[in-house]
Structures are given as C-alpha cells and as structure tokens.
A and B are shown apart, each in its own frame.
Chain A
Amino acid sequence: MNEIVQKLFFSAAALSLFCSNSVVAQTSPYRPKEILPPAKKAARVHITLGPELESAKSSWAIIRWTSNNPGGSDEHFGVVTYGTDPGDLKETAKSHIRLNRGHPCTIFRVRLDGLKPGTTYYYRVDSMEASGTSDGVKSPVKHFTTP
C-alpha cells in the first residue's frame, strides 16, 4: 500500500518539479469523506530530486532539493553544511520549512548567507525536525560558484 503511494508519487515527481501536484486532485462539492489521508512518513526518507543550486548572488545562495515525506514535526529545517574545502564542510546553514500534511513530499530550500564572490563552495544537505533529530538523508558533496 505504502509502496503504491510511493510509486504514484515518484511518477508524478518525475513528471513535474512540483511534488505537490500529485495530491491536488479534488472534486467538488467537497465532502469530508474525500479527505486525503495525511502524508505518511516514508519507510526510508530520501532525496528524490537535487540537491541543486536554485540561485546564487555574490554574497548568498539558495540550495534546493526534494525529499519524500520525512514526517515528524511540521516545523522542519533544511540543513546545508558547506565550505570552500570539500574535505572540511565547516559552515552550517539552516532554514525553516513547514511540512504540508497533505503532501507526500517536501521541497527544502536553504539560504546560505555571508558568501564571498567568485568563490567555489562545496556542500551536502540534510533535514531535521524542530527538536534537531536528523531525518537521516545525506546527499553526496556537490558544489557551486558564486558570481
């Protein structure tokens, strides 16, 4: 059952960058029975898209990725560890993300501030609950260069 949900979701995600499109099928008039169940915590939380650079300015950048639903607290954080040395990602940036109980997946976006222009940064991403408990997704180390 969970597998089917996930398969459906993966195909939808493949079709569209917006993971949420798969859950908006809705008929009118609304009846309580038609309410979609809340997204389940995926058996294994993992990244389905990205991470990638969304945009970069000379002093800041946004990293973006999509996970299947991490569950846990609605208040969530995207976490990016980064640095100029791929072997030593010593900086951490966290951004607030609210999970949507109706969505089977979540787009994480994290803003990295205080960057230097014309510099290559290496990064890896994770996400965590409000309590700090990691969702356990670890991306490979990727990189981008500020303009």
Chain B
Amino acid sequence: MRRTTLIVLSVVCLTVLGAVMMTKGDEVDPTPQTYNPYPPGILPSDLSSELARVRREVTFIENEAIAEWHALPPLKFIGQPPTIQGSGYAAVRTLGKLMNFDQNISVFKNEACASCHMPYAGFSGPIPSVNLTMIAYPGSFRIRAGKRTAQRYTYSPDFPVLNYNATQGTFFGGNFWDARSTGYLLQSADAEQAQHPPVDTQEMGAPDTACITFRLSQAVYRPLFEAVWGKGSFSISFPSNTEEICETPGGAAVFGSNATPVQLSPADRARSNAVYDHWAQSISFYESSPAVSAFSSKFDAFLAGKYNMTADEMAGYKLFRGKGNCNSCHLDGRSTAPTPPPPEGTAPGSEDTGAAADTRPLFTCFGYANLGVPKNPRDAFYYQTTPDAFGFTANPEGFAYTDFGLGAFLRSGFGSAPNPNSSWTKFASTSDGRMQTSTARDVALVPPQCKSTDAPGPYFQKEFFHNGYIKSLKQLVHFYNTRDVFPFSVESGNCPAGTTEKVNCWPAPEVPQNLDMTIGKLGLTDTEENQIVKFLETLTDGFTTPYPDINTYTGVCKTGGNASTQGNSAIISAVAIRALMREKP
C-alpha cells in the first residue's frame, strides 16, 4: 500500500515498475548478485548493462596503460640516493595508472578505482543513470553502495595534509568530502586516500589491506612495481587460505572486528604495509600528473594570454569574483599583491605573500563549509538496512542517517573514519555539516560527444555536491543564488503545490548547524546565473592539449528538457520513503 504511494509519487518509478533489479543478464560480471534491499525504482533499470559498459571501458584503458608500460625505457637507478634517472616520473605514473584501472584489486575482481572515476567525467562518476538516481556507486559486491557522490580527483593531490588553522579557526586540507583522509602517515592526503577504497566495505571491499598486496603480487605489471619499489617487495609468505579470505567481502560476519584476517608474521605484515604505501603513492603521483590534473583549460589559456574569453564567459568570471562572491571559497589566485604596512591597513588573510599572482589557481581554499544542501532521498545508502548474505548491514540507521560531514569525522562517528588527532574532537559540533570546498575545476568536464552537463544537451548527466542533490550546473548556481529566497521547511519531494523544486522551492538543509551565510541570496539574474555556468565551463581541462582517455565513453548522451528542472522527474518523496522504511520488517 505504502509502496504504491511511493511509486505513484515518482515518474521514474513508474517507468521501471515491475522491473526486477537486474533487467539484463551480465555475463562478464563475476560477482554474485545477491544483495537487493532496494524498493522497486531505487536502482536504475540499466544498472547491469551500464556496469558492464564501464568494465569494458576500464579494461580498454588498462590495456593502453600496459602498452605505455612496455614503451618505457629500461629503468636504471643512478647515484646516491639511487634515482631512476630520466624515466622515474614516467615509471611511477604509469604504475599509478595501471593500478587505477586494475579491477583485480577488488574483492570480486570486477571494480577498479576508475569504475567510479572515469577520465571523461573529470574522474568522477561514469554512469548517467546512477548520477541521476542512486547517486552512490555500486561496490564490488553487488549491490552494496556508498553514500556520497564520487568526487573528481583532478587536483586532489594539491590538498595539504589536514591541519587546523588556529587563526582562521577552521580546517584546511585532507581528502574526501569529510576530510577523513588526513595524510598523517604518508604526509599526503591524496596518497592516503588511495588506501581507503580497496578496503571500504561498500567499494572495492577487500577484508584486509594485505589482500591488495596479494593481488598486486599476481598483477601482470608486478615487474614494473618491483622495478620501481624494489625486487623484494613481495617476498612475503602468504598463508594458503589467503585467496579464500581475499574473495570474502569486508564486513563479513566471519571476520568479526578483525581488520587483519590474513595471518602474516610481523615482518611480512610490515612488508605488506610498505607495498600498500607504495600502491598509494604511485596512484597519487598519477593523479597529480598532467594526465589527470592537467591545467589545460580555457581559463589556463586565458591566464597565459592565449585565449580571449567570450563576452558571456568574461561576464561570468566577473560575477564569480564579484556579485556571486564564489572566489571567497573557490580561490582564483587573484589576491596576492603586497600588503601595505600598518597603520594604513592589513590584508585580510595573514599568509599573503606579496608575490606575483598564482598563475595556477585551484579554485578551492582547501576549506570546509556547510552550504545547507537538502537531504537527497534518492541516496542508495538509506536502503541498506538489512544484512546481506555475509551478515553485513551498511546502514542500520536507514533514512534517519544524517550526514554530518567533517563533524562526524572529528568525533570518529558512524559513516566516517577514526580521527587520528584527539585534540580536534572538540571542534566536531562546530564542524557538523561542513564538506570539502571542492575545486570548481573540471566540474563541467563531460565526454566530448555529449558537449554539456546541462539540458537540453546533448548532455551527460552528472551529479553535484556531496549527495548529488543537484543535477545541473544551472541548478548549482541557482542554489547558491536563491537558497534563502525560496526556503521551505519541507524535505525533497514535498515542495508545496504551485512551486517547483529547485526552481522556486528549496527544501530545508539536511544539517541546519553551522550554515554558511556567505551564499543564499546573491541577487543574480537568470542571465547572470547562465553566465557563471559559462565561466565554470572554461575550467574544463583539454582545451590547450587533448585530455588523455577522454574519448573512451561508449554510452549515450541525453537530449531534451531544461537545465532548471533537469532530473526532477527522478525526485522521490522523503515523506513516502519514511513511511516505506517504517513498514519494512
């Protein structure tokens, strides 16, 4: 009965009514597809074929990386300390690329990093229907899924190790929406980040970091790993049940709370840890390379005096720095001129160097803010309330789960990771709801054939903000502009009659605490919003030099509709979800 209400409320649900979770058989996927806690209409109907498509694309790029490896000159260590002269950068980055596109690392050998981060989406989520609906990407064990959007990792290596800045009274650096990858051990937030997904229960799902070492020891590119990091890297005696353990997903009841079920001697464990560190560092070096973080956008050409912005782009840029006030958080590197001495004045921001402009602005301050994004009832996380075949339940809280972002991490809370610095715990409540100020770079990057993120297209459906509530860049700018102009004390899917969600109705923030008020009522006109979108598009890499692997998308582009209401037909009612979840046994 309640289930019917939900379906009626959602157009998308209607279109897939009666469809089973998997509409098409997926011959190539070795995963047992055994977990489906989702009510009808939550998973996109093309999920199985889309996962298969991405797997083919990932394999294609992995093969390309193998060819790049074979094309490397012989690696020779020269000098003291020994350095791979000449080809060291290329070797480590090629290794990182091989790892990034390697599906064998995951528990069921069906998911690489790239499965959720493809080049043609600016290294964010590659499946339009997932971006439109469930927002979180399926893990190796189908269909567990995470809870947030797959962030672009372009420029993520530029984020410093997470630190608390006492002058600013806030945190800077770290990776992930909630900063939980601090970088405290490897001294790189981004390298440390690469150690999370392989053992994330809802992502690649390995039960022990030693499983990654074990799989790397079987990888075709093992010789490259050994050439870079040392011949003895894999001199580890793995117990005979290692494969058996490594093909059982993390979180399985059989492991209890044991994070190291692969039994290794202390010396072998240390070797395995070293391999896992080198895995992380190699991947990070690939991510910081021009193949990912390219600085090859129109905007970069503009900075170099080699591109004249169109009138709309320039107007958008002025708005970004002016009335839109976007660059107060998405720093555009424009404010580094000398500070006049007191008493005349001091610059706001004590770290001002007086040096020449940052000619490579990153469009982030590396900080965290709560923009007041509404809860997204579409998020696949809410539905994983029952145990899967391995006895693992991703989200016992169901729809009551609230994403407190940085605050949850600081208090080592549910849904985040342990905070390695107890002196920060006291900042948890003033950090609730805060999420990483992502770089605005490459937010508009899409497969070339799709041209745009925004309807009427042809467009490639992306998802924006940490929970994918926003579906087009037009909506993103409109949110900043009008959050406090059209506020309603409702949840998504329940805007009052006569209003249109995301146009003249914004549901209440998921986390009302610590709301940022720099934004919310900017006074931008409709045209000005569009100009800011045009400007955001100038931040797309691949203008001055082709972006590697951008042409690997083999899916379709969408057309039709308009950017303001893009994706609205997929909205489901929070009220109906609550009722449905209560009804569940």
Contacts and interface: CB of A to CB of B under 8 A. Distances in A.
A40 B334 contact: no
Contacts of A71: 345-348
Contact of B349 (A38, A62, A110, A113): A38
Given A29-B308, A102-B321, A111-B517, A131 B167 contact: yes
B168 A38 contact: no
Interface stretch (B179-187, B249-257, B336-344): B336-344
A137 interface: no
Interface in B130-180: 166-170
A42 B329 CA distance: 22
B347 A39 contact: yes
Contacts of A73: 167-169, 348-350
B337 A37 contact: yes
Interface stretch (B121-129, B205-213, B453-461, B508-516): B508-516
B325 interface: yes
A20 B323 contact: yes
Interface string A103-128: 10001111101000000000000000
A55 B336 CA distance: 36
Interface residues of A, number: 55
Nearest to A96: B516
A90 interface: no
A48 interface: no
A26 B337 CA distance: 16
Contacts of B318: 24, 26
Interface in B296-317: 302-303, 305-309, 314, 317
B328 A100 contact: yes
A69 interface: yes
B520 interface: yes
Contacts of A108: 517
Interface in A58-106: 59, 62, 64, 69-75, 78, 95-103
B517 A74 contact: no
A1 B319 CA distance: 27
Contacts, number: 171
Contact of A21 (B167, B322, B340): B322
B335 A24 contact: no
B517 A95 contact: yes
Given A71-B347, A73-B348, A113 B512 contact: yes
A78 to B, nearest CB: 7
Nearest to B516: A96
B308 to A, nearest CB: 6
Contacts of A55: 484-485
A74 B365 contact: yes
Nearest to B344: A2
B521 A109 contact: yes
Nearest to B335: A101
Contacts of A23: 321-322
Contacts of A42: 345
Interface in A20-44: 20-21, 23-24, 26, 28-32, 35-43
Given A39-B347, A71-B348, A110 B302 contact: no
Contacts of A1: 344
Contacts of B503: none
Interface stretch (B71-79, B351-359, B376-384, B406-414): B351-359
B328 A28 contact: no
A35 B334 contact: yes
A69 B348 contact: yes
A130 B170 contact: yes
B552 to A, nearest CB: 33
A99 B348 contact: yes
B420 interface: no
B348 A38 contact: yes
Contact of B323 (A18, A29, A35): A18
Contacts of B352: 38, 101
Contacts of A57: 487, 489
Given A24-B321, A30-B302, A40-B347, 9 more contacts: A28-B314, A43-B344, A97-B516, A98-B516, A99-B349, A100-B327, A101-B328, A102-B327, A109-B518
Interface of B: 166-170, 302-303, 305-309, 314, 317-319, 321-323, 325, 327-329, 334-340, 343-350, 352, 356-357, 359, 365, 367, 369-370, 484-485, 487, 489, 512, 514-518, 520-521, 523
22 contacts: A18-B322, A18-B323, A20-B323, A24-B322, A26-B321, A32-B357, A35-B337, A35-B357, A36-B335, A37-B347, A38-B349, A40-B345, A54-B521, A73-B350, A75-B170, A96-B514, A98-B516, A99-B349, A109-B520, A109-B521, A111-B484, A131-B166
